[in-house]
Amino acid sequence: MADMAMEVDQDEGAPLNVVENPTLDLDQYIAAYSGPTRIRRLFFIESKCPTLAIDALRLAIRDLKTSPRASEYQSSTHRLASMCENNNATAEPLPSQADIDSIISNSNATIEKLENALKKAQADLMKESIRRCFMDIGDHYFSMADYDNAYNRYLRCRDHHTTSAHVVTMCIKAIKCAVEKSDWLNVHTHVGKAETALDGKKNEKVVSRLKCYSGLAHLAQGEFTEAARHFLNANFDYCAELSDFISQRDIAIYGGLCALAAYDRNRLQSSVMDNKSFKEFLELVPQVRELLKAFCSSRYAKCLNLLNTMKSDLLLDIYLEYHINDLYERIREKALVQYFSPFLSVDMNKMAESFNCSVKELEKDLIKLISKGKIQARIDSDKKILHARTVNKRTSTFAEAMQLADYYDVHSKGILLRAAMMRNNLMVRAGKDRHMHSDRGRMHDEYLQFP
């Protein structure tokens, strides 16, 4: 397992994981991405992994060199030169100020050209030309990483759509901006609009893209059950073209880990292991496939060991890094609960062997689960035995019967009161959201209702 250290972000005061010795093949990993997400992932790896920082920055600079992102290109080359000097490595040649000015002037000239084309289209009142001009301007701002301006230009296409396909295209463009800005609320909003615009039309390519956008948004918000549902429904054949924000390998990892953290063993078997479409994703990441198999077959030590082996590389993922500890904790807790569920008592020494940990560590985990109410048990600290709390079924049945009787008593009184009020033509003035109306001298209003 790769070594990891902790440092503190001085601005936010939040602990950040720093991966010292990753097993990640950077060239193979980053080849699966394109566009701004490729550069953003490289910058993320640079900030998290000192071992790969120089290589990641070199790759990012190659992409920035052919883009209109002049300021990032300039700052990245200076940062690389500083790193290379400290590590006795060969640095990339620094761009001259003339090169930077040329990139900026070319970008400004392109914007001016596109704006003039838009003015001409607006003067001619050509809706399709206006829509295309807004799209082109938005695309250029997007290539500059000016996502706010790009998003605004895409939204201005709304008044010039002539088909539902135009609406879907606009929504996808807006979602791309929202993803790059981590604006997950807008991702959900535009995914909903795009699905409405499809109106039942079978376009598996677009549907799979929208599912992955939704899954990514739910994952980023820590909603693992919903994230798993969307990733598991993605179509493998149509996900090869999503390199602008996600790879097929990512879908296997995100979907597998979220399902492992959120689903019980039966649902995991039916929704993941028996899912023919998702099996194709799992073939790309054998480690995820094996840990899912290990969990379903109750080989928890193997499952947790595989998770620990993968952790260093997962910490270099831009979306998983902030949730990896939560995911791992949920998976471990669920494994402990499922291990104990069929027994009345368990020897904690044997249980510790099954989870490849010490009895002391196991006892701490069990205390947490008992305090959370996830395990109904008590610990014999002397004999190191975990005993299930037996429930007096007679007492619990009697308590349930009394609770049901109280419910029927209240419900019956409510029905009788309502019937009496209706019989005597008694009415109650409604609240703020309801109004009393008169119609030819007769008063109509809703009667008071009881549960």
Those residues whose C-beta lies under 8 Å from the C-beta of residue 364, and which sit 6 or more positions away, are none
* C-alpha dihedral, 77 to 82 to 84 to 85, nearest 10°: 140
Q: What is the pLDDT of residue 266?
A: 87
Q: Do the Cβ atoms of 271 and 277 come closer than 8 Å?
A: no
Encode pLDDT of 240-260 as tens digits: 889 999 999 999 999 999 999
Which parts of 199-341 fold into alpha helices (H)? Answer: 204-220, 224-232, 248-262, 265-268, 276-282, 286-296, 300-314, 324-340
Residues 294 and 281: their CA atoms lie apart, in Å, by 18
Identify the three-state secondary structure at position 183. Answer: coil
Length of the chain, in residues:
451
35: region left, alpha or beta (phi > 0 left; psi from -120 to 50 alpha): left
Q: What confidence tier does 438 reach under pLDDT thresholds 50, 70, 90?
A: very low
Q: Are 445 and 427 in contact (CB under 8 A)?
A: yes
Return the DSSP state at 375.
S
Q: Is there a contact between 173 and 135 (Cβ–Cβ < 8 Å)?
A: yes
Per-residue confidence band for 200, with pLDDT thresholds at 50, 70 and 90: low
pLDDT band at 12, cuts 50/70/90? very low
Mean pLDDT along residues 273-296: 92
| pLDDT of 33 | 94
Cα atoms in the Cβ-side hemisphere of radius 13 Å centred on 11: 0
Q: Estimate to the nearest angstrom the gap between the alpha carbon of 329 and the chain centroid.
A: 17
Please tell me the predicted confidence (pLDDT) of residue 388: 82
Give which of 225, 177, 214 is closest to 192, Cα–Cα.
214
Question: CA 125, 126, 130 angle in degrees (round to 5)?
Answer: 100
Q: Which residue has the tokens 């082109």?
A: 136
pLDDT digits (tens, 9 = 90+) for 143-180: 999 999 999 999 998 888 888 889 999 999 999 999 99
Helices 286-296 and 300-314, axial angle in degrees (round to 10)? 150
Q: What is the pTM of this model?
A: 0.79
- Given a cut of 80, whether residue 34 has pLDDT beyond it is yes
The mean pLDDT value of the chain amounts to 85
Chain segment 186-196, per-residue pLDDT in tens: 999 999 999 98
